[in-house]
Amino acid sequence: MNETVRRLLPLAIPSLLVGVLCSLILLLVSGLANLLQDFLWITVPAAFGIPGYSPGWILLTLTVAGLLVGLVVWKVPGHGGADPAKAELIEPPQSLGVLPSLALTAIIGLAGGVSLGPENPIIAINVALAVWLGMRLMPRFGGEIYLILAAAGTIGALFGTPVAAALIFSETVIGKVETPLWDRLFAPLVAAGAGALTTAVLAGEEFALDVAAYPGFHIGDWVSGSLIASAAALIGLAAVYLFPLAYAGFRRMSHPVARLTFAGLLLGCLGMLGGHLTLFKGLHEMKELTATAASYSGLALLMMGLIKVAALLVAGTSGFRGGRIFPAVFAGVALGLSVNSFFPSIPIALALTSAVLGILLAVTRSGWLSLFTAMVVVPDLKLLPVLCVVVLPAWLLVTGRPHMIIKSDEK
C-alpha cells in the first residue's frame, strides 16, 4: 500500500459518517419546516374558512413570520447566528450555542414563505456539529477537514449528487496545492456521495423539470442562449448592486423585531403581487410554474421572475436566515419560460438553462455551480456544449463586479 493510499483510506469512514449526518440534519430541518408550512398555509386558514393562498393570508403570514424571526434574533441566545448578508456559502464553524436559534429562524423562514433556500443555515449547522464531534471523537484529522467534509456532505445532500460539491471545491484551494486535485477531492467526494445517497433513499427531491427535450444544436442557439444568459445575468447584477443599498436601508431600523416585521410585510406585499408561486425557496414552485406556464402570459412570467428577485433582495438584506441559490433558480426558470413564451422558436430547454445559468453567475459568482445547476434543471447532455459557450459572454459581464455579500466593515 503506497503512502497516498495510507493517507486517504483512513478518511473514508469519517467522510461517510459526516455525509450521512449532514443529510439527516438537512432532512430533519426540512421535515420540521414542511410540517410547520402545512400548519400555517393549510390547517390554520382552513379552520377559519380562508383560502390558504389568498392575498390577505399571504400578507398576514409573511408579516407574522418576520415578527417571529425578529423575536428569535432579539431574545433567543445565539441571535440566529451570524449576519446572513455577510455570510459566504461556507463559513468557519460557529459555536454550538448559536445552532438552536439558527435552526429556528431557518425553519420559520422556510415555512413562512420567505424567498430564501436552506443551504446557508444548514451548512452552518452541519459544519459546527461536524467540527465539534470530529475533534472529540477523531481529532487527529484536524478541524479543517471536518469543515470541508460537512460542507461537501451538505451540498451533496441538497443537490442530490456529489458532482456539485466536486465542482465547488475544485474552485477552492483545499489541502496542499502540490497535491493532485483528485487526491484533495477524495474525502469531500465520499462525504458528498454519502449525503446525496442518504437524501435520495429517504426523500429524493429533484431539480429536474419536465419539459420538451432539446431538439439538437442549431448555430443560432449559441446566439439566443448567450443573449438570454447575458440578460439574466444583468438582472442578477442589478440585484447585486442594490444589495448594499437595501442592507443599509434596513439597518436604519436597528431593532430586529421592527426590521424583520417590516421586511415580512414587504415580502407579503410582493407575494400578493406575484402569487403563491413566488413564495418559499422555489423548488416545488418552479416545477408547478413550468407545468402551468401555458396559462400565463410572457409578461406575467417575466414579472414573477422579477418579483422573486425583489423578494430575494428583501429577505437577504433584512436579516432572514437562508441561502440565495434556490430562489435564484426559480427566478431563472421564470425568466426562461417568459423568453420561450415571447419567442416560441427558441427551444424551451435552451431558454430555461441559459436563464438559470446567467442569473446564478451573478448571484453566486461560481461558474461551475451555475453550469451544473442549469444542467440539473434540464438534464440533457446535448445542451452541455452549447452552455459551455453560452456561459462565456455572461461571465464577462459578471467577472470583476461586486459580489452579493456585505463586507464585514460595511454598516
φ, ψ of residue 117 in degrees (nearest 5): -95, 175
Please answer whether residues 134 and 146 qualify as being in contact, where contact means their C-beta atoms are separated by less than 8 angstroms. yes
Q: Distance between CA 168 and CA 197 in Å, rounded?
A: 19
73 contacts: CB under 8 Å, gap ≥ 6: 79, 80, 101, 105, 256, 257, 260, 319
Q: Distance between CA 16 and CA 22 in Å, rounded?
A: 10
DSSP string, 296-358: S-HHHHHHHHHHHHHHHHHHHHHT---BSHHHHHHHHHHHHHHHHHH-TTS-HHHHHHHHHHH
**Nearest C-alpha neighbor of 390 from the set 406, 411, 367, 363:** 367
How is residue 214 annotated by DSSP?
Answer: P
Print pLDDT tens along the chain (411 aa): 566 676 777 788 899 999 999 999 999 999 999 999 999 999 999 998 888 899 999 999 999 999 999 999 999 988 777 788 888 888 889 889 999 999 999 999 999 999 999 999 999 999 999 999 999 888 888 888 899 999 999 999 988 887 777 777 766 655 565 566 667 788 888 999 999 999 988 886 677 888 999 998 888 899 999 999 999 999 999 999 999 999 999 999 989 999 999 999 999 999 999 999 999 998 899 999 999 999 999 999 999 999 999 999 999 999 999 999 999 999 999 999 999 999 999 999 999 999 999 999 999 988 888 998 999 899 888 999 999 999 999 999 999 999 999 986 555
Q: Distance between CA 86 and CA 264 in Å, rounded?
A: 20
Q: Please state the pTM of the whole predicted model.
A: 0.92
312 contacts: CB under 8 Å, gap ≥ 6: 115, 116, 239, 324, 327, 328, 331
How is residue 120 annotated by DSSP?
Answer: H
